[in-house]
């Protein structure tokens, strides 16, 4: 099929999905959308999107259907629930899952959809809500080459860097690798800041000189100044990172691979969440670590 | 004193000190040098440096004396040993310690030298042997402002980015922060690679897509490809990183600050060293982690 895709669906209009759907709409696609809370579709409908009654109804209308929901069971419900995508899909439909979920479950979902001629691509993203709004996301795509080629023009609308990393499920494996590297660099940056602060070192000077060398990372350069300023506003919320690190832990467990660094970062973030900080940005780990060495037991 | 410094000493001509001394010599300074193994001074002497009999003899000849030895006791021996710097120094001498050592000991050494009118600056470096050869090191300087200003032209010869981070000892604190951030990013990169390899993900694609986003780090971009290629050749040797992480642990202990991420990275590297890998590059942690999930017990 050489015709450009024109009929596109988007299911899951959260902080990420809504701006991604809007960018697809602005690019000239006929958008049909669905969200569990219909109110969240208002802006899109106002801009010309059609609100459907169910994921099945979206699937019946479109050539390509994006899904962007929280976790593995949510994707399963959207795909295979009573009014799910599988109920409305015609053979030839391509489903692109932008959620971050379990890689093994993704492969299972793909197999079940293949039975009715539907192709599933996993395409988790990195770059946060700002990246979603600006269409500058990094997208890690798993799935068959021909389907990826077919939807690439749509992916180019929502992302800046589109990488086809392997067969279906590999997008999710790559996203897990991303969160593991993130967790290590975040923990290194937070511990470095805690050590600096405890010793009265100028934090901005430390971030500058350390960030310029072999210890440099996106986390240190971008979150370090926020940690120094006790600014906990979320770029990426601890609750979401904890969800992703639970997915990492499941994969590592399936692999019988110990990932102790990622597990330690998860434990630190869980401690912050347990103190009511789940909706803070991940950089709140910095203040938590610093306080570990600075509080006083009283009787 | 507005006159440019011309008489410079360098004590400790190892893999870092030798090229740093050479750059100072090439910049037109009259160099007097000393090394425990005199043979290592040959190239410098051939290029015009004077070889002295002892650190004391170097100190008696120069206006600024650099020290670059392995660890805290080595610096103490060079400064206060029988033929140490303190025995030969005249008031007004500035000693610049490029070694990575204990911050508290540095402050103690500075106080002892101040008693005879000698100023100690701590100026640990980052950037490896390549940075030392090219004169592109990052240098974290602690000490009084006027002394730092006086020696800055010399530091500009050996480094690209010179940051005065605070009073004496703060250079070492900053270097510890550097190694903590390094350790976290290294561990994150190694665990991400281990997870990718275990799942058959294309490693170079993973490094590219993950490295471009919020999980990006110098460690992932520079050491990741080496890990992917099982190339363990040292940029920075595990034995040296272990020495630095022991210094970090001492500082954290003095601070009563738990730095569990750095401690975990140290433990991983210690395991590699225990298997005979101490002279490999720090990226060998990657293969070690991957193998943790891939070996078989046999009876």
To which H or E segment does residue B160 belong?
A: strand B159-166
CA distance B244 to B193: 24
Q: Which two tokens stand for residue A81?
A: 């629930």
pLDDT of A246: 97
Round to the nearest angstrom and report the end-to-end CA distance of chain A: 74
In this model, does residue A2 exceed pLDDT 60?
A: no
Pairwise CB contact (< 8 Å): A209 & B161: yes
List chain A residues with CB under 8 Å of B132: none
Pairwise CB contact (< 8 Å): B215 & A218: yes
A175 is catalytic: yes
Closest CA in chain B for residue A139 = B209
Asked if A163 is an interface residue toward chain B (Cβ–Cβ < 8 A), one would say: yes
Residue B163 phi/psi, 5° resolution? -120, 120
List chain B residues with CB under 8 Å of A178: 192, 209-210, 213-215
Asked if A291 is an interface residue toward chain B (Cβ–Cβ < 8 A), one would say: no
B64: CB partners within 8 A, 6+ apart = B5, B7, B8, B9, B93, B94, B95, B96, B151, B154
Structural domain boundaries of chain B?
7-166, 173-293
Pairwise CB contact (< 8 Å): A177 & B196: yes
The beta-carbon neighbor of B177 closest among A176, A206, A214 is A206
A10 DSSP β-pair partners: A33, A66
pLDDT of A168: 98
pLDDT of A299: 53
Asked if A199 is an interface residue toward chain B (Cβ–Cβ < 8 A), one would say: yes
C-alpha B152, offset from chain centre: 19
- Do the first three CATH levels of B7-166 and B173-293 match, i.e. the same topology? no
Asked if B130 is an interface residue toward chain A (Cβ–Cβ < 8 A), one would say: no
Chain mean pLDDT for chain A: 95
Mean pLDDT of A200-228: 96
Pairwise CB contact (< 8 Å): A209 & B260: no
Closest CA in chain A for residue B211 = A178
Pairwise CB contact (< 8 Å): B236 & A251: no
CB A213 within 8 A of CB B127: yes
Q: Give me the tens of pLDDT residue by residue for chain B, a chain 299 residues long.
A: 446 778 999 999 999 999 999 999 999 999 999 999 999 999 999 999 999 999 999 999 999 999 999 999 999 999 999 999 999 999 999 999 999 999 999 999 999 999 999 999 999 999 888 899 999 999 999 999 999 999 999 999 999 999 999 999 999 999 999 999 999 999 999 999 999 999 999 999 999 999 998 999 999 999 999 999 999 999 899 999 999 999 999 999 999 999 999 999 999 999 999 999 999 999 999 988 888 766 666 65
Active site members of B: 175
CATH number of A7-166: 3.40.50.720
Q: The tokens 């780990």 sit on which residue? A: A285
Pairwise CB contact (< 8 Å): A209 & B262: no
ipTM of the complex model: 0.94
CB B234 within 8 A of CB B279: yes
C-alpha B206, offset from chain centre: 30
Write out the E strands in A199-265.
none
Pairwise CB contact (< 8 Å): B103 & A199: yes
pLDDT of B129: 87
Nearest to A141 by CA among A121, A113, A127, A157: A121
User: In this structure, are strands A7-11 and A119-122 parallel, antiparallel, or unpaired?
Assistant: unpaired
Asked if A269 is an interface residue toward chain B (Cβ–Cβ < 8 A), one would say: no
44-103 of B, contacting A, C-beta below 8 A: 103
Pick the CATH number of B173-293 from 2.60.40.1180, 1.10.1040.10, 3.20.20.70, 3.40.50.720: 1.10.1040.10
pLDDT of B292: 74
List chain A residues with CB under 8 Å of B163: 205, 208-209
Query: A41 by DSSP, 3-state: which?
Result: helix
pLDDT of A1: 42
In this model, does residue A3 exceed pLDDT 90?
A: no
Whether the pTM exceeds 0.90: the reply is: yes
């Amino acid at each position: 099929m050489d015709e450009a895709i024109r009929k596109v669906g988007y299911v899951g209009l959260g902080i990420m999905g809504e701006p991604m759907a809007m960018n697809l709409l602005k690019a000239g696609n006929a958008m049909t959308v669905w969200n569990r809370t219909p109110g969240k579709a208002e802006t899109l409908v106002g801009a010309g999107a059609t609100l459907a009654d169910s994921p099945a109804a979206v699937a019946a209308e479109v050539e390509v259907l994006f899904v962007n929901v929280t976790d593995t069971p949510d994707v399963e419900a959207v795909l295979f629930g009573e009014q799910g995508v599988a109920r409305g899909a015609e053979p030839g439909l391509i489903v692109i899952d932008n959620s971050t979920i379990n890689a093994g479950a993704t492969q299972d979902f793909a197999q079940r959809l293949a039975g009715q001629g539907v192709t599933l691509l996993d395409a988790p993203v990195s770059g946060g809500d700002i990246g979603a709004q600006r269409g500058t996301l990094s997208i890690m795509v798993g799935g068959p080459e021909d389907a990826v080629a077919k939807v690439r023009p749509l992916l180019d609308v929502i992302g800046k860097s589109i990488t086809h990393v392997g067969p279906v499920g590999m997008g999710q494996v790559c996203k897990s690798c991303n969160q593991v590297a993130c967790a290590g660099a975040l923990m290194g940056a937070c511990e470095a800041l805690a050590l600096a602060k405890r010793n009265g070192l100028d934090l901005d000077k430390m971030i500058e000189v350390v960030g310029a060398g072999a210890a440099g990372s996106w986390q240190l350069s971008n979150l370090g100044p926020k940690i120094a300023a006790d600014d906990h506003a979320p770029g990426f919320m601890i609750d979401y990172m904890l969800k992703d690190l639970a997915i990492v832990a499941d994969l590592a467990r399936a692999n019988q691979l110990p990932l102790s660094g990622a597990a330690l970062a998860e434990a630190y973030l869980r401690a912050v969440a347990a103190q009511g900080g789940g909706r803070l940005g991940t950089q709140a780990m910095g203040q938590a670590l610093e306080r570990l060495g600075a509080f006083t037991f009283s009787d």
